[in-house]
Amino acid sequence: MTLPRSDGHGLLELMVDRFNIYSTRRLEQRLEEPQFQGAVLHFDQPWEGALSGYCTVLHDQLLGNYKLYYRGLSDGRFECRDGEVTCLAISSDGIHWERPELGLHKWRERSQTNILLANQVPGSHNFTPFIDVRPGTSKDERFKALAGVAPTGLHAYVSADGIHWRRRFSEPVISEGMFDSQNVAFWSEHEQVYVCYMRTWTGDGFSGIRTISRSTSKDFFRWSRPRAMSFGRRPLEHLYTNQTQPYPGASQIYIGIAARFLPDRQVLSASKAEELQVDPNYYQDCSDVILLTSRGGYRYDRFFPGAFLRPGIGLEHWVSRTNFPALGLVRTGPTELSFYLNTHYAQPSAQICRYTLPLDRLGYLEARQKWGDMITKPLCIRSGDSLAINMSTSAAGAVQVALLDINFAPVSGFGWQESGLLIGNDISRSVTWSVSQKVRQLGDCGLEKVRLAIQLYDARLYAFRIQHASDQ
C-alpha cells in the first residue's frame, strides 16, 4: 500500500480529489465558488492592447513582491512576430499593480516602458516563467521560463531577478509538440524532477482536440519525450491552457486552473460583436474555467467535470478566448488565495481581474440534513504530531473526529466522545481528545499509522493537516 508523502512541514490534504479518502457516506463533494474582486490591470498601453494575454503571476517571497508577466500584442497581424512583447507589472500585495519603467526596450517614441523582452520571436508569444525552488539552484538562474511554438520548439530562459532574461541554450530544449499556448514548467519537490505541461493536439498538426502532454527533466536541459496526459474516464475536451502548479503548502497536489475552450459554440451575433468592438476573428467561440488535479505522473483527475468558474453576466464575457486564467494561485492574505483571469479579450476593454478563495478551500465534503462520515486511507504519523481541520458548520451543525487503526478498529481514548463536537468556521481548527482530564493530540495515540474518521452534520470539511511536532 502506498502511503501519502508529506513534506518537511507535515501533510496538508485538500478535499479536491479522493486520493486519501477510503470511503464516504451521505456526503457530497463539491467545489468552492471563487469570489470576484474586480479588475487589477487594464491592457491600455500602446504596446499591449486587446490581444494581450498568456499571463503568469509569481509571488517572489525573497524580494517581497508579486510579478505579473503577460504578452503585449496591440495588433493581431503581429502574432508570432516582432510586434509581440513580454511585459511586467509589479505589486506589493497581489492586489494593486503598477507598471515599472524598466528602460530595457522602448516603444516608438516612448523610451520608458514595462517591456522586458522584445524582438524574441516567438518567445514573447507565450513566455511562461516560474521561480525555481530546487535546492542548489544557482542564484543567476533562480527564475526560469519556457517559450516558443511548434516551428522553433520550446527555448529555455533564465534570470537572476525575473527582469533581465537570457536564453540559456542556443537550441530548443523540447521540440516535440505544438506549444501554441502557455507551456508550464516547475520544479517538483514531490517527484524530484522538473516537469513541463505543454500544449499538444490529439491529431496531426492543428487537427483533433487541444490537449496536454507532459515531459520531465533532471537538469532543465535534457527532457523526456512528451507523453499525453490521461483524464480518467472523462471525455476529452479542448483545454486551451492548463496552468498546472503545485498547491502552495501541499506540493504533492498539482492544481490546474485550466481554460476549457468550446470552438464554434457561438453566443455573440455579428452585430453584437461589432457593438463591443470585438476583433472580427474572436467572437465565434466561448470558454470557461475548470479545475484539474494531479498527484504526479501522466494522469489528471477530472473529479469535478463541471465549471470551476462560469463566464460572467454580459456578452463581453462570451467572446472567444476570454476567461483564460493566468498561471498562478498565490497567497494574498493570512486566509486568502488569489488567482487572476484574462477577461474582455479582443475588446478595447481587455483587462485582467482577480478572484479569491479562502485559504485551502478549493473543494469540500458536505453533509446537510443527516450525519455523514468520511474515513481516510492509512496515514503515517509521528509521536507528538497534531491534527487541524479546515471546516465550517451552521449554527446547528457539528464536526466530530475519531481515530481508527488500519484495520478500522477504534483507537482507545480517541473516539467520538473523547473529541467532542466541533462547531464554527475555522481555517485551522485544532483537534484534540480528552482522556481522564488530560488533553491528547494525534501523535499520542501510540500508533504509526491511523485512519481519520470524520463525521459531519450541516457542515463542510475543506482540508486536514497533520503537523509534525518539530515544526509547531
49 with 76: CB under 8 angstroms? no
Please give the backbone phi and psi of residue 373, each rounded to the nearest 5 degrees, phi first. -145, 155
Q: What is the CATH number of the domain that holds 202?
A: 2.115.10.20
Q: Which of 303, 334, 358 is the last residue of a domain?
A: 358
293 and 351, same domain (yes or no): yes
Number of independent structural domains in the chain: 2
Closest C-alpha among 75, 93, 30 to residue 362: 30
Single-letter code of the amino acid located at 261: F
Q: Which of 341, 358, 375 is the last residue of a domain?
A: 358
In a domain, residue 3? The reply is: no
In a domain, residue 1? The reply is: no
In a domain, residue 197? The reply is: yes
Burial (Cβ within 10 Å: 0-12, 13-18, ≥19) of residue 160? middle
257 and 373, same domain (yes or no): no
Q: What is the CATH number of the domain that holds 18?
A: 2.60.120
Q: What is the pLDDT of residue 117?
A: 96
207 and 145, same domain (yes or no): yes
Residues in the chain: 472
In a domain, residue 6? The reply is: no
In a domain, residue 2? The reply is: no
In a domain, residue 141? The reply is: yes
284 and 181, same domain (yes or no): yes
pLDDT by residue, tens only, the chain of 472 residues: 233 333 446 899 999 999 999 999 999 999 999 999 999 999 999 999 999 999 999 999 999 999 999 999 987 777 777 889 999 999 999 999 999 999 999 998 899 999 999 998 889 999 999 999 999 999 999 999 999 999 899 999 999 999 999 999 999 999 999 999 999 999 999 999 999 999 999 988 888 999 999 999 999 999 999 999 999 999 999 999 999 999 999 999 999 999 999 999 999 999 999 999 999 989 999 999 999 999 999 999 999 999 999 999 999 999 999 999 999 999 999 999 999 999 999 999 999 999 999 999 999 999 998 999 999 999 999 999 999 999 999 999 999 999 999 999 999 999 998 998 999 999 999 999 998 778 999 999 999 999 999 999 999 999 999 998 766 5
Q: What is the pLDDT of residue 7?
A: 43
In a domain, residue 256? The reply is: yes
85 and 20, same domain (yes or no): no
414 and 274, same domain (yes or no): no
In a domain, residue 372? The reply is: yes
Q: Which of 319, 342, 358 is the last residue of a domain?
A: 358
212 and 311, same domain (yes or no): yes
108 and 210, same domain (yes or no): yes
Q: What is the pLDDT of residue 70?
A: 98
**DSSP count for the chain of H helices, then E strands:** 2, 33
80 with 149: CB under 8 angstroms? yes
Q: H or E stretch including 91?
A: strand 85-91
351 and 402, same domain (yes or no): no
Q: What is the pLDDT of residue 4?
A: 38
C-alpha cell at 38: 474586480
Query: Range of 400's domain?
Result: 11-30+363-471
346 and 372, same domain (yes or no): no
342 and 447, same domain (yes or no): no
307 and 407, same domain (yes or no): no
pTM for the complete prediction? 0.95
